[in-house]
Amino acid sequence: MSRRAVLGVSVANGAVRAILAARNRIEWAGSTTWSAPHDLSDAIARLAGEAGRAVRRARVVLERDLIQARTIAPAPPLRARAARRFVALEAPRLFRKNGVPLVTDAAILHSDGSSLALWTAAAPEPVVQAILDGCEEAGIAVEHLGPASDVLPRTTVAPTPGDLIFSNGGTAEVISVGADGTWRSRLIPKPDAAAVELAPPLVALGVEGSHFAAAYGATVAAPRLSLLPANALARRAHAARRQLIRLCIGAAVLWLVAFVTYGARLEFAAASAQRELDLNRGALDSALALRREIDAGASSLREFASLTASRSHHLRLIASITSVLGDSSYLVALQIGSGGIVRLAGYAPSAVRVVAAVGRVPSLHDARLEGPVTRERTAAARELDRFAIVAQRDTL
């Protein structure tokens, strides 16, 4: 996926340089001069127009001769959020004003190991405002505006923590790089040590490569410090707020559209189903009536099968009872009630034996004597027990 090209602009005292780079390849580089802030606006607009293709966003860095950079090490005990306000309040003590208002910013960074440093920078507000005006005239949105020292380490072949020396004409800038990036910048008249090895795209520019290093660095990375003036920050915050409101309204509209679409789809589905039901109502009614008839008929058949299964089997019970009674016993009454109660009355040599015999009938249980057993003399002149037995028939 190709990223959209960003214009890297570096502003030095009297010179503006711009680079259009994409995928670590310089597509276009240009420079011009300026003498006063209003020239700077024109110069930036002119350079942007010469870029050869439409550019919509830019990162601007201010070179060391245009800004003032200070490092307080160790850093005062401040929270990261308070550092910017602290430096803004202490600006008259930290920076030279030269009769113009300054734009300042600060960050607390790791310098060496665990020690912290307060990295600050200040730029003249008229210059910053002129840069913003120039970019606005050219239709370019400034993404970042900060010191070049923040991005210069990214223009070397292999940026490592330590001191890096960038020569630029008669002076050189010594940049101290820590774990969090640049934490100190010093200008020295002549470099004593060898200059850094620049990245291949800059080397390809030849002797001009070191001059364009800051502009190229801006295309590679954004500066950590932001030197945007308060009114620009307020305008950006306002624009961001408006953007957020627009996003919220857009989201609400999308939700509403989704809500309405979903409702319409449900309504359509319900109406379509109802239409189909109405179309088939006649056939459906007859099919349902047929199904009701089938259900009723099947139920009747099941009921009849159940009635047949529950048919009485009294003859079998009578046969079972008579088969367990001895030859010398005889019954004078047999009653099988609808509740399953079976009563027997009769004569036998021993009533107790009859109770035991009745208890052996498979479909009877709880057989017991009902009432007293009396000894009677029968018509055949035999003395027998007259008994009355009650038992419970098993449920079928």
| Contacts to another protein by CB under 8 A | 259, 262-263, 266-267, 269-270, 273-274, 276-277, 280, 283-284, 287-288, 290-291, 293-294, 296-301, 303-304, 306-308, 310-315, 318, 331-338, 378-380
Separation between Cα atoms, residue 238 and residue 245, nearest integer Å: 10
In the complex, the smallest distance separating the C-beta of residue 374 from another protein, rounded to whole angstroms, is: 14
Q: For another protein, which is the closer residue by CB, 192 or 327? A: 327
In the complex, the smallest distance separating the C-beta of residue 310 from another protein, rounded to whole angstroms, is: 7
Separation between Cα atoms, residue 358 and residue 61, nearest integer Å: 117
Separation between Cα atoms, residue 153 and residue 145, nearest integer Å: 17
Q: For another protein, which is the closer residue by CB, 13 or 328? A: 328
Burial letters 349-362, b for 16+ CB under 10 A, else e: ebbebbbebbeebe
Q: For another protein, which is the closer residue by CB, 22 or 330? A: 330
Separation between Cα atoms, residue 319 and residue 230, nearest integer Å: 116
Separation between Cα atoms, residue 211 and residue 198, nearest integer Å: 11
Q: For another protein, which is the closer residue by CB, 115 or 262? A: 262
For the chain, state the CA radius of gyration.
54
Q: For another protein, which is the closer residue by CB, 141 or 277? A: 277
Burial class (CB in 10 A: 0-12, 13-18, 19+), 123: buried
CA dist 157 to 78, 188, 241, Å? 34, 23, 40
Q: For another protein, which is the closer residue by CB, 115 or 310? A: 310
Tell me, what DSSP letter sits at residue 245? H
